[in-house]
Amino acid sequence: MPPSFFRNSVTRPANRVATRRGALLTSTLLALGVASAHAADLPPAASAPKTGASKAAMPSAAAVPATEQIISTAHRTRSEQSVSHVEMQRILPGINPVKALEILPGVVFENADPWGNNEQNSSLFIHGFNQNQLGFTLDGVPLGDQAYGNYNGLTPQRAAISEIMGGASVSTGAGALGTASTSNLGGTLEFLTQDPLHRAGGQLSQTFGSWSTFRTFARIDTGTFGNGNSAYVAWARQDARAWDFAGHQGGNQVNAKFVHEDDNNRITSFFDWSDKVEPNEDSIYDPQYTTLYKKPFIYPNLGEALKYYNSTEYKDAGLNYRNYYSAAQREDFLAYTKWTHDFSRNLHWDNQIYYHHDGGEGVVAGPISAAGLPVLFSAYYPSYSPSQLSQVFGGSGMATRTTEYWDNRGGLISTLRYHLGNHHIELGGWYERNNNTQARRWYPFSASDPTTPYQRQQNPLIHQYTNYFYTNTWTTHLQDTWQVSRTFSLNAGFKSELVYTNGTLPVASKSGSTVPGGTIAAVRPFLPAFGALWNITPHEQWFANIQENMRSFQAEGTGNATPWGVTTQQAFDHFRDHGHPETSWTYETGFRTNRDISFGPLTHLSGQLEYYHVHFSNRLLSVASAPNLSWIVGSANILTNVGSVSTDGMDFSFTSQFGRHFSFYNALSYNKSVYNDNYSAGTTIVQTAGKNVAGVPNWTEKFVASTNWGDFNAQFIGDVIGKRYTTYTNDQHVSSYALFSLNAGYTIRGIPHVRGLKVQGNITNLTNTKGWSTLSIGNASTTYSAYPIAPRMYFLTLSAEF
C-alpha cells in the first residue's frame, strides 16, 4: 500500500500497542484513531515494517497532521471505522464505548442514560440490523449478542472499564471472517483494552456532576519488569442518581492485565470483575395518546406507593401504571489468556482461551392487579379472592418479580497466519461451550419488610418457569488475500458455522400447555466472502466486499423469539423440522481519500463514501397471543418466519483540518430498510410489505468540531436522528431530534511528582432537548412504548497521571 495510507498509523509512546519485531500488524491501536486490523484482510504491503525497512516505506513525521483525528478509517475490502481512547473519554469520561461509537456513520445508538450504561433501555441499529443481529468482541473474546435477557455474553462496559478501553471499531457492513460471533448478520463491533505501560506509574480520576454523580477511577502500572513483562490493575466505582427517580445506578469494577513479550512470543492475560445495579427507567406505553414524558418508579416512598395502588390514578393509567421499583443486577467474571507465537517472519499462530461467568437478576416490585397478573396467579392459587391473594404475597397488594440469570461459558480461539509470496493465508477456528439458565420467580412483598432494588431475593412463592440451555458452537474460517499487483489485491474465503443448542423447560408455567424442549442445530458449512482493494492513487482507494452471514437461534425460552419460546411441543417440533435461521447477504463498495491540500485555511482532507445493499432472509418474529401482556406474564407465542428485508443505503464521512488547531468531522447517512412481505397474526394479515423497518431512521447526521491548542482542547458535538416509524405498519412515528454536547479540557503541567493534571468539563444535551430515545416495538404491530431522552447534565473530571 502506498505510504500515504499510513498517515493515521502513528502511535504515541504512551499508548504503545501489540506490535513487535517480525509480527504482522494485528489489532493495531492508533493514538490518533484506532484501526483494529485482521492482518489477512490487508495486502502484504500493509504489514508492520520489519527491522531495516526502507525509510521511504514510512511517512515522515512532518507528513502527519498535527490535529488529532476524530475517527480512523481502516483500509480494507470492507468499511471499518474507529474511535480512539482519547475521543471516547472526551465525549464523557467513563462512557459506554458503544455510545461513543454513535458519532460514526451508519451507527444509531439510543439510551435514556447520558453514559449509555442502562442496558434495559439500550438500542443499537447499524444498517438496519439491531444489536442482537450484530457481533461484539473484546480483544477477540466473544461478548455475545447483547440481549438484555443475559444468555451468552455481557456488554462491553461490563467486560472492561471504560477508561482502559484502548479504542473501538465498527465494521458497518460485514465483519472479518475470524470474528468470534454467530449473531453478526450485520456488522461487528470490536473493543480493545489498553496494554500496560513500559514505565511504572498510575492514574487517578474523579468525576463529579449532575444528579449526585460520583465516579472514581484508579490505575497502577508496574512498568517493564523481569524479562519483557508488564502489568496493570485498575478499579472503577460509579454512583449516580437517576435523573427522574430516587434510584442510584452504578457499582464496582476491577480489571487487571499482564503482558509478556520476547522475540518470538507474546502472552497476554486479562481479568475483569464487574458488579453493578441499575434501577431501570420505565417506558411510556403508546406515547401518541398520553401527555406522559417520564414514568419514574416510586421507591423508596412506600407509603406513597400503597396510596397510589388504591387510587383512581392507578386504575386510569392502564399499562402506564408506575411500579414501586425496577432494577437490573449483574455480576460478571471474565478472563482470558492469549498466546501469539512467531515461527518465522511469515508464519504466526494465535491461541486464546477464555471463561465467563454471569449471575444476576432483573427485579420488579409492583401491584399484583396489573397487566393480567390475576389470571396468572389464579393458576397457582385457584379460587382465591383478591384480598386472599394479597395476603399470600405479604398483605401489601404488591409482589416482587425476578428474572434470574446464570451463565457459564468458555472457549478457545486459534488462528494460523501464513505469508507466502503474494498470498496471505489465514486459517482459524473457534469453539465455545455455553451453559445458561433463566428463571422467572415471584416473591412476597411485605409492607413491614419491603424488598429493595439492591438486594437478591430469597424463598420464592411461585416458580413460574425455568429454562436450561446447553450450546456447543463450532466455527472455522479460511481466507486468502492475494496481492495481484502493487496497487490491487483480492480477498476470498469462507466461514463454517455449526451451532447445536439443547433447551429444556423443567419448570413450566401452569398457564401454559405442554413443555417444549429438545435440540436444534443452526448449521451453514459454507458462508462465502469476497473482497477487492484498489489503490487508485497514493491518496485514493476503492474497495468492495460481498459476504454471507447466518445468525444462530438465541438460547432463550419463554416469551422470546426463539424455537424454545413457543408453548407447545408440537410447535417446537414443527419449527425444528421446517424452520430456518436468519441469514443475510451484504454488498458494499466505496471510495476513500486521505491527502494534504492547500486551499485557503484547509490543509488536510480525509473521508469515505460507501454504498451498501443487504438482503436479509428468514426474519423471525415472535407473535404473542396477548401482545400487550406478554412482557410481564409470558403469554403464548408463535415463532413466525415473516419474510425478508431489503436495505439500501449510503454513508459519507469526512474530516477536514484547518492548520494545526482546528478540525471538523461530519458523517451523513441514508438508510432505507424495507419489509418485503406481509405476515399473519392469527387470522389477521399484517400489511408490512413495502413498509420501513420500525425504529430505523432514514437519515442521520453527526458532527464534531474540535480545537486543540497544546494543553487545551475543546469540542462541539452534534447528533441528529431522523423520523422513526414506531409500528411495523408505519402508521405511527416519533419525530426527529437533535442533541448537542460540549467538552473542554486543560492539562496542567509542572506539578512535582505529577506528569499532568487534566481538568475536563462536559455538558450533555446542551439545549435540554426533549424527545424519545429507545423505542420498544410491540408484537401487535400497532403498539409501541418509548423511553425519554435524558435532560441537560454537567460533569467535571479531575485526572492526574503519575
> Given the DSSP bridges, would you call strands 107-110 and 80-84 parallel, antiparallel or unpaired?
unpaired
What is the pLDDT at residue 512?
A: 64
Instruction: Return the beta strands (E) in 156-293 as ranges.
Output: 165-171, 188-193, 200-209, 213-222, 229-241, 248-261, 265-279, 284-285
Strand order in the sheet with 141-142: 71-73, 80-84, 165-171, 188-193, 135-138, 141-142
DSSP tally for the chain: helices H, then strands E: 9, 40
Rounded-to-integer distance, Cα 391 and Cα 460, Å: 15
Residue 34 has pLDDT above 60, yes or no: no
Residue 108 has pLDDT above 50, yes or no: yes
Mean pLDDT of the region 524-544: 97
What is the pLDDT at residue 52?
A: 35
pLDDT tens digit sequence for 46-88: 333 333 333 333 333 333 344 456 678 888 899 999 999 999 9
Mean pLDDT of the region 126-130: 96
What is the pLDDT at residue 638?
A: 73
Beta bridge partner(s), residue 276: 251, 330
Q: Are 133 and 551 in contact (CB under 8 A)?
A: yes
Instruction: Return the beta strands (E) in 508-644 as ranges.
Output: 518-535, 540-551, 582-599, 602-617, 620-624, 637-641
pLDDT tens digit sequence for 546-577: 999 999 999 998 878 889 988 888 889 999 99
Listed in sequence order, the residues at least 6 apart from 55 whose beta carbon sits closer than 8 Å to its beta carbon are none
* Residue 781 belongs to domain with CATH number: 2.40.170.20
What is the pLDDT at residue 69?
A: 61
Rounded-to-integer distance, Cα 719 and Cα 701, Å: 6
pLDDT tens digit sequence for 725-741: 999 999 999 999 999 99
Higher pLDDT, 99 or 296: 99
CB atoms closer than 10 angstroms to residue 367 = 23
Q: Indicate the pLDDT class of residue 259, thresholds 50, 70 and 90.
A: very high
What is the pLDDT at residue 7?
A: 35
Cell 490505575: give the residue: 219
Rounded-to-integer distance, Cα 281 and Cα 277, Å: 13
What is the pLDDT at residue 475?
A: 98
Higher pLDDT, 447 or 778: 447
Q: Which of 5-9, 73-77, 417-421, 493-497 has the lowest mean pLDDT?
A: 5-9
Mean pLDDT of the region 501-529: 89
Mean pLDDT of the region 227-246: 95
What is the pLDDT at residue 516?
A: 76
What is the pLDDT at residue 364?
A: 96
Residue 609 has pLDDT above 80, yes or no: yes
Residue 628 has pLDDT above 60, yes or no: no
What is the pLDDT at residue 55?
A: 33
Mean pLDDT of the region 293-321: 94
Residue 284 has pLDDT above 70, yes or no: yes
Residue 3 has pLDDT above 70, yes or no: no
Residue 631 has pLDDT above 60, yes or no: no
Closest CA to 155 of 118, 183, 110, 126: 118
Cell 414501586: give the residue: 324
Rounded-to-integer distance, Cα 427 and Cα 411, Å: 17
CB atoms closer than 10 angstroms to residue 269 = 15
pLDDT tens digit sequence for 665-713: 999 999 999 999 998 877 888 899 999 999 999 999 999 999 999 999 9
Fill in the DSSP letter of residue 722: -
Domain that holds residue 593: 3-801
Number of domains in the chain: 1
Cell 498510575: give the residue: 202
Cell matching residue 45: 504491503
> Given the DSSP bridges, would you call strands 423-446 and 462-483 parallel, antiparallel or unpaired?
antiparallel
Mean pLDDT of the region 193-210: 97
Residue 18 has pLDDT above 50, yes or no: no
Closest CA to 547 of 617, 498, 479, 494: 494
Closest CA to 180 of 18, 416, 437, 414: 414
**φ and ψ at residue 631, rounded to 5 degrees:** -65, -25
Rounded-to-integer distance, Cα 92 and Cα 209, Å: 11
What is the pLDDT at residue 781?
A: 62
Residue type present at position 357 = H
Mean pLDDT of the chain: 89
Q: Indicate the pLDDT class of residue 25, thresholds 50, 70 and 90.
A: very low
What is the pLDDT at residue 513?
A: 56
Residue 466 has pLDDT above 90, yes or no: yes
Q: Indicate the pLDDT class of residue 14, thresholds 50, 70 and 90.
A: very low
Mean pLDDT of the region 483-487: 97
Higher pLDDT, 246 or 19: 246
What is the pLDDT at residue 228?
A: 95
pLDDT tens digit sequence for 410-465: 999 999 999 999 999 999 999 999 999 999 999 999 999 999 999 999 999 999 99
Percent of the chain with pLDDT over 70: 89
CB atoms closer than 10 angstroms to residue 642 = 20
pTM score, whole prediction: 0.91
Closest CA to 606 of 210, 114, 64, 150: 64
Residue 12 has pLDDT above 80, yes or no: no
